[in-house]
Amino acid sequence: MIEARGLTKRYGDKKAVDDLTFTVRPGLVTGFLGPNGAGKSTTMRMILGLDAPTSGSVTVNGRPYTKAVAPMREVGALIDAKAIHGGRSAYHHLLALAQTNNLPRRRVGEVLELTGLTQVARKRSGGFSLGMGQRLGIAAALLGDPQVLMFDEPVNGLDPDGIRWIREFMRTLAGEGRTVFVSSHLMSEMEHTADHLIVIGRGRLQADCSVKEFIERNSELSVTVRTPDPGSLMRLLAASGARIEARGDGALTVRGLTPPQVGDLAFDAGIRVHELAPHQASLEEAFMEMTRDQVEYRASAGGPASGSGFGGQPPAEPPLPSRGRRGRGRDRQDDPHHLIGA
Ligand SMILES: Nc1ncnc2c1ncn2[C@@H]1O[C@H](COP(=O)(O)OP(=O)(O)OP(=O)(O)O)[C@@H](O)[C@H]1O
């Protein structure tokens, strides 16, 4: 269990982390999300005692991590997988860590096996691929068989196989009852990995809830409808108060009406419908809505997109007028605790 209470970190006159209070519970994968510069790494460093809070506190299993008698048995952390002596083999890297931390030698073989590195254990780690380097970092984190695991952006730069492996591994660790805290700015990845989310923006807590709740509260259910007569259907639905967007692929996105309402209106007017489906926003779309004003270094729309993540991304959809999603998001940002304590 990780507990932060009023955790604050100031660099000069900038608050990198601002009065964060949250609990990371065992048995779940908790995603720690926020745009670039939101304060995720600073928070993780404070949890590990690598940075001192300006005020507030954070404990691991009830006490500050710096007070842990056997740190590697308390927390396993993957913060920077490249921080490894490249001339050493994976085996010797892990053995050195085990010996300096008073951990049994047998753990080296066990964690090599767990992370699928046994076959390459005697090779120089400097020649490892990014994915193998991440596995080695995770093997090191597991050496002390800790109950709490923290991963800072573990899937960055990995191929789909590597991403899937890390995702399943984190889920297994949580399934064993461990506390798994993982930071990421890759929304599509977190949607499939995390049970719970802690979201920060500009150092402040924005949400502390499940993935499902986050999506439901930050997006509006819409209806996708296809018809050979879009003009008539658009006029009909607009007259019933719906907001309609004609998509490039010929479908209409309708907001403000349910799928049965759209179907019934079309039927009564004798308009053929070829597709009618509810659409729930993805985690990424819900995030883009909530953090619209919080990305510290957002490229202009049309700038380089970074995949399914924060920053460098144009909004998922153009802003809608008055009752549109942008308006909804703004209202909520005035109350940063609207999702907290759900
Ligand atoms: N040592 C430092 N000195 C001054 N400012 C810092 C320092 N470390 C971080 N910051 C600032 O604190 C803010 C939070 O940074 P942090 O690295 O924690 O964010 P992050 O959410 O991890 O972002 P990213 O995803 O880009 O790593 C940023 O504005 C950053 O520039």
Nearest to 9 by CA among 37, 42, 34, 47: 42
The average confidence (pLDDT) of the chain is: 82
Average pLDDT over residues 158-165: 84
pLDDT value at residue 130: 83
Confidence of residue 92 (pLDDT cuts 50, 70, 90): very high
| Residues 6+ positions from 268 with CB-CB distance below 8 Å | none
* Ligand 1 atom nearest 17 alpha carbon: 14
Q: For ligand 1, atom 3, which residue shows the shortest CA distance?
A: 11
Write the pLDDT tens digit of every residue in 250-286.
899 999 999 999 999 999 999 999 999 998 888 888 8
For residue 295, the CA-to-ligand 1 centroid distance in Å is 12
For residue 39, the CA-to-ligand 1 centroid distance in Å is 6
| Whether pTM exceeds 0.95 | no
Confidence of residue 83 (pLDDT cuts 50, 70, 90): low
Nearest to 47 by CA among 27, 61, 31, 65: 65
pLDDT value at residue 153: 87
This complex has an ipTM of: 0.95
Average pLDDT over residues 85-98: 86
Pocket-testing residue among 13, 14, 42, ligand 1, by greatest number of atoms within 8 A of Cβ? 42
Please, what are the domains in the chain? 2-216 (3.40.50.300), 222-279 (3.30.70)
Taking CA atoms, 193 is separated from 123, 136, 262, in Å, by 31, 20, 34
